[in-house]
Amino acid sequence: QKEVEQNSGPLSVPEGAIASLNCTYSDRGSQSFFWYRQYSGKSPELIMSIYSNGDKEDGRFTAQLNKASQYVSLLIRDSQPSDSATYLCAVNFYGGATNKLIFGTGTLLAVQP
């Protein structure tokens, strides 16, 4: 059974601080990794994708991947109240007939003004 684990939170950080979100996954065959943001009642919206070990930066967001530890994280710098949402870690299992995202339960982030 392929699993993606996240701390459900809530993670509360003050405005301007760094928010750190973590995710672990069970299957070493996982090949691509995504962070989505989901506001209440809305659909998942892509924040970052990462495919290889190391860091990937995009504006205030940095994704980190460590395949040996089966760990992926998202850092949000200079957190804003508008960043308050649920952050979903998703892992893509694909190959042959298999092609699907497995989602974690999400971490609720609350940025306090």
CA proximity to 63, closest of 79, 53, 49, 74: 74
Question: Is residue 112 part of the contact set for other proteins (CB under 8 A)?
Answer: no
For other proteins, the closer CB: 40 or 113: 40
The SS3 assignment for 82 reads helix
Question: Among residues 66 and 98, whose Cβ is nearest to other proteins?
Answer: 98
Q: In the bound complex, what is the minimum distance in angstroms from residue 94's beta carbon to other proteins?
A: 4
DSSP structure string for 86-102: EEEEEEEEEETTEEEEE
The DSSP output letter for 18 is P
Bin 97: left if φ > 0, else alpha if -120 < ψ < 50, else beta: alpha
Please give the residues from 45 up to 74 whose contact with other proteins meets the rule CB under 8 A: 45-46, 49, 51
Contact region with other proteins (CB under 8 A), list: 18-26, 30-38, 55-63, 64-72: 30-38
Q: Which residues bind other proteins (CB under 8 A)?
A: 31-32, 34, 36, 42-46, 49, 51, 88, 90, 92, 94-95, 97-106
